[in-house]
Amino acid sequence: MSSTVTQNVAPSDALFATPPPNASDLSPLRPNPSTPQLVSIDTICTLIGINRRTLYRWLSLFPDFPRPIRFGRLIRFRLHEVNQWIDARGVVR
Whether residue 16 has pLDDT greater than 50:
no
pLDDT tens-digit series, residues 28-74: 445 556 667 999 999 999 988 999 999 999 999 999 999 999 999 99
**Range 8-29 average pLDDT:** 51
DSSP bridge pairs for 76: 69
The counts of H helices and E strands in the chain are 3, 3
**CATH code, residues 35-89:** 1.10.10
Percent helix, strand and coil across the chain, each to the nearest 5: 35, 10, 55
What is the pLDDT, as a whole number, of residue 38?
A: 92
Q: Where are the domains of the chain?
A: 35-89
Instruction: Record the pTM.
Output: 0.58
What is the pLDDT, as a whole number, of residue 48?
A: 86
State the Cα–Cα distance between residues 40 and 61, nearest whole angstrom: 20
Cα end-to-end span (Å), the chain: 87
